[in-house]
């Protein structure tokens, strides 16, 4: 790693590709002859309009987003989407939430403020360490949507197969696996992602919504700003967007396109995760906490035999130059988040460190 940078295993904000950061650094004082940085630029200027248009076009290319889906760049991060989804999509006042961890739980708790929530499947019984069997989901006919969190950042599980929801739209929180693998957008009514996990700087969410789900007739209590239609009608320029985040995310989209797209990224992610899981699977000191068949390629929680030893490993990892390996308090232990921008060398270095630690202390 150059510039004294560290292998940062944070669950978000997380690493960005070094090449992208270098480009941003080179443009920060004077963006392509405009005489100013993107931070200082009017969001109504032609220069910024081009940045926004290219970001959307590149994301569409990357994911193969069909024409009948809108792409929205919305402020408020991930958490605001917990409210925007039910506010905008609950027509009949009923939604199904699949409860698989901390983030889907937060989403369903918020949705209950706006309507009835049913939970046809949950993995709460084993501390969200697996994805429940959803092959025979009972979805009420009048349900407005079925919601899931496609990668549970804290519990380290991921949906490797999507549930069948028939004509009921599927809504997915892709925050911690967005752009980590190819995505068949047609399977969803709405996809959203907070960008600070797998794409760029915090403070923005990307929403991909099928046009027929945009509504004119929202309840009066819904603020204008929280209507998806407001953002769709104004092409993400209803007010000042998070210009900086749009710009940096746009750079990451171009970087992914230039490096083989999502197929290639998915291969790199599989390779990285395989390195770490192969080590954990043979270790008698470190143990992964998620069920093998449902584990995440992005967030890898693991534990040692005791809390004291967990803490000792975290401290030693810090001294060895790694950062943010402490697990979330609800799971304990350690967690390595190995998002798109974590280099393979970072995972190899971590595995070497853990192997040596086990030899000396295990
Ligand atoms: C981080 C995260 C969120 C919340 O994002 P904020 O931008 O911090 O509000 C929601 N869902 C998932 C899966 C996350 O990883």
The pLDDT value recorded for residue 44 is: 97
Which residue has the least CA distance to atom 5 on ligand 1? 78
Q: What is the pLDDT confidence band of residue 291, given thresholds at 50, 70 and 90?
A: very high
How many angstroms separate the alpha carbon of residue 79 from the centre of ligand 1? 6
If you write DSSP's letter for every residue of 68-107 in order, what string do you get? TEEEEEEESTTHHHHHHHHHHH-SSSEEEEEE-SHHHHHH
Which residue has the least CA distance to atom 13 on ligand 1? 175
Residue 1 lies in a domain: no
* pLDDT higher than threshold 90 for residue 310: yes
Report which of 237, 241, 212 is spatially closest to residue 75, judged by C-alpha positions.
Answer: 241
d(CA 46, CA 43): 8
Q: Assess whether the C-beta atom of 79 lies below 6 angstroms from ligand 1.
A: yes
* pLDDT higher than threshold 80 for residue 66: yes
Residues 269 and 122 in one domain: no
Residue numbers annotated as active site:
103, 173, 197
Which of residues 229, 258, 287 is at a domain's end?
258
Percent of the chain with pLDDT over 70: 100
Residues 153 and 284 in one domain: no
Which of residues 235, 258, 281 is at a domain's end?
258
Residues 303 and 220 in one domain: no
How many angstroms separate the alpha carbon of residue 166 from the centre of ligand 1? 27
* pLDDT higher than threshold 90 for residue 8: yes
Residue 7 lies in a domain: no
Residues 212 and 126 in one domain: yes
Residue 301 lies in a domain: yes
Residues 120 and 33 in one domain: yes
| This model's pTM is above 0.95 | yes
Residue 229 structure tokens: 């239609």
If you write DSSP's letter for every residue of 107-176 in order, what string do you get? HHHHHTTTSEEEEEEE-GGGTT-SPPP-TT----TT---EEEESEETTTTEE-SSPPP-TTSPEEEE-TT
Which of residues 209, 241, 258 is at a domain's end?
258
Which of 105, 106, 176, 331 to probe ligand 1 with, by most ligand atoms within 8 A of CB? 176
Domain range holding 200? Answer: 20-258
Average pLDDT over residues 261-276: 98
Residues 250 and 354 in one domain: no
The pLDDT value recorded for residue 362 is: 80
Task: Evaluate whether 118 touches 146 at the Cβ level (below 8 Å).
Answer: no
d(CA 69, CA 203): 23
Which residue has the least CA distance to atom 3 on ligand 1? 78
Average pLDDT over residues 292-304: 98
The pLDDT value recorded for residue 2 is: 85
Task: Evaluate whether 346 touches 275 at the Cβ level (below 8 Å).
Answer: no
Residues 337 and 208 in one domain: no
Give me the number of domains the chain comprises: 2
* pLDDT higher than threshold 90 for residue 246: yes
Task: Give the sign of the dihedral formed by CA 48, CA 50, CA 54, CA 57.
Answer: positive
The 3-state DSSP class for residue 207 equals strand
d(CA 189, CA 170): 5
Report which of 13, 8, 10, 9 is spatially closest to residue 202, judged by C-alpha positions.
Answer: 13
The pLDDT value recorded for residue 55 is: 98
Residue 141 lies in a domain: yes
Tens-place pLDDT, residues 350-359:
999 999 999 9
For residue 282, give the CATH number of its domain.
Answer: 3.90.1150.10
Residue 63 host element (H or E): helix 46-63
Tens-place pLDDT, residues 24-36:
999 999 999 999 9
Average pLDDT over residues 143-163: 97
The pLDDT value recorded for residue 1 is: 76
Residues 121 and 223 in one domain: yes
The pLDDT value recorded for residue 212 is: 98
Residue 66 lies in a domain: yes
Which of 154, 158, 190, 194 to probe ligand 1 with, by most ligand atoms within 8 A of CB? 194
For residue 47, give the CATH number of its domain.
Answer: 3.40.640.10
Residues 186 and 78 in one domain: yes
Task: Evaluate whether 158 touches 152 at the Cβ level (below 8 Å).
Answer: yes
Q: Assess whether the C-beta atom of 173 lies below 6 angstroms from ligand 1.
A: yes
Residue 63 lies in a domain: yes
Q: Assess whether the C-beta atom of 78 lies below 6 angstroms from ligand 1.
A: yes
How many angstroms separate the alpha carbon of residue 30 from the centre of ligand 1? 32
Which residue has the least CA distance to atom 14 on ligand 1? 175
Q: Which residues contact 18 (CB under 8 A, 6 or more apart)?
A: 1, 2, 3, 5
Which of 100, 103, 104 to probe ligand 1 with, by most ligand atoms within 8 A of CB? 103
* pLDDT higher than threshold 90 for residue 150: yes
Residues 285 and 236 in one domain: no
The pLDDT value recorded for residue 254 is: 98
Residues 253 and 273 in one domain: no
Residues 124 and 162 in one domain: yes
């Amino acid at each position: 790693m150059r510039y004294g940078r560290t292998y940062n295993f944070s669950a978000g904000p997380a690493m960005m590709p070094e090449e992208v950061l270098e480009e941003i650094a080179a443009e920060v004082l004077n963006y392509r002859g405009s005489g100013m940085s993107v931070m200082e630029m009017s969001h109504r200027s032609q220069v910024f309009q081009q940045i926004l248009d290219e970001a959307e076009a590149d994301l569409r290319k990357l994911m193969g987003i069909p024409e009948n889906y809108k792409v929205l760049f919305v402020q408020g991060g991930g958490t605001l989407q917990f409210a925007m989804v039910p506010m905008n999509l609950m027509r009949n006042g009923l939604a199904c939430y699949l409860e698989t961890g901390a983030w889907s739980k937060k989403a369903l708790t918020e949705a209950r403020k706006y309507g009835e929530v049913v939970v046809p499947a949950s993995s709460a019984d084993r501390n969200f360490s697996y994805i429940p069997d959803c092959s025979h989901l009972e979805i009420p006919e009048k349900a407005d949507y079925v919601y899931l969190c496609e990668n549970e950042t804290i519990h380290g599980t991921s949906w490797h197969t999507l549930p069948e929801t028939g004509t009921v739209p599927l809504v997915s929180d892709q925050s911690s696996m967005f752009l980590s693998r190819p995505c068949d957008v047609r399977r969803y009514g709405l996809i959203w992602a907070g960008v600070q996990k797998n794409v760029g700087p915090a403070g923005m969410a990307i929403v991909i919504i099928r046009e027929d789900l945009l509504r004119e007739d929202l309840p009066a209590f819904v603020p204008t700003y929280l209507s998806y239609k407001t953002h769709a009608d104004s092409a993400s320029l209803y007010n000042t967007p998070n210009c900086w985040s749009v710009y940096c995310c746009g750079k990451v989209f171009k970087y992914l396109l230039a490096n083989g797209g999502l197929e290639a990224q998915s291969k790199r992610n599989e390779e990285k995760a395989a390195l770490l899981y192969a080590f954990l699977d043979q270790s008698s000191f470190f143990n992964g906490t998620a069920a093998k068949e449902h584990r995440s390629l992005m967030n890898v929680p693991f534990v040692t035999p005791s809390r004291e030893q967990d803490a000792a490993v975290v401290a030693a990892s810090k001294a060895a130059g790694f950062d943010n390996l402490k697990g979330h308090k609800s799971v304990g232990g350690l967690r390595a988040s190995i998002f798109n921008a974590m280099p393979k060398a970072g995972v190899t270095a971590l595995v070497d460190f853990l192997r040596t630690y086990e030899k000396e202390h295990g």
